[in-house]
A and B are shown apart, each in its own frame.
Chain A
Amino acid sequence: AQSVTQLGSHVSVSEGALVLLRCNYSSSVPPYLFWYVQYPNQGLQLLLKYTSAATLVKGINGFEAEFKKSETSFHLTKPSAHMSDAAEYFCAVSGPDNDYKLSFGAGTTVTVRA
């Protein structure tokens, strides 16, 4: 079985500050890992994904995430927060052994202070 845990249901950052969202996964096979972003009243938009290539993955809107097998982590970062980054962020895991069904974390809501 695969699962993810997102640490912190809510993160508040100042505009221009580092954004760090934490995600730890559990998987018995090499996982596929994803970060999705959800803006209010919108669907989920893919930010980035890891599928066993480079461990540092760059995504859209200046976000990146690093896969660390030893720590079973896939934390999401952005060096400088923008007001438009205010949204809910979901970490998810899947894999070819389970038809790529996504298992989601509980989500982290990001607010950005001016």
Chain B
Amino acid sequence: DAGVIQSPRHEVTEMGQEVTLRCKPISGHDYLFWYRQTMMRGLELLIYFNNNVPIDDSGMPEDRFSAKMPNASFSTLKIQPSEPRDSAVYFCASSLRQEGTTFFGQGTRLTVV
């Protein structure tokens, strides 16, 4: 398996623009997680899905953030409108419940100017 695949790897956008981050989890995994990494806050969980259903979005910082998982092989994290404080590295990760190990993608480095 190619692992968790995220795109794009880097994104630079202007404040106020919409940003969409994409993720393909490992085939067969039933959990998908979105994390954000910043210097100030470290790694924080934004939202996670089980069998494509959002379970807990309490980590989503504001209503400007939304995430979807239309099928088992694809998820998006959208920020609209984006702000400079959203600049961070966003990781997608997936796991299989009975195995219990979370695997991470390479991340998307978002810069909002």
Contacts and interface: CB of A to CB of B under 8 A. Distances in A.
A102 interface: yes
Contacts of A36: 104
Contacts of B48: 99, 101
Contacts, number: 53
Contacts of A105: 42
Interface residues of A, number: 22
Interface in A34-60: 34, 36, 41-46, 49, 51
The secondary structure that dominates the B interface is strand
Contact of B43 (A32, A41, A42, A90): A90
A106 B102 contact: no
| Interface range on chain B (Cβ under 8 Å from partner) | 20 to 34
B42 A100 contact: no
A73 interface: no
Contacts of B45: 101-102
Interface in A65-92: 90
Contacts of A96: 97, 100
Contacts of B91: 43-44
Nearest to B59: A101
B50 A42 contact: no
B106 interface: yes
A90 B106 CA distance: 16
Nearest to B106: A43
B105 A43 contact: yes
Contacts of B4: 43
B107 interface: yes
Interface of B: 4, 31, 33, 42-43, 45, 48, 50, 55-56, 91, 93, 95, 97, 100-107, 109
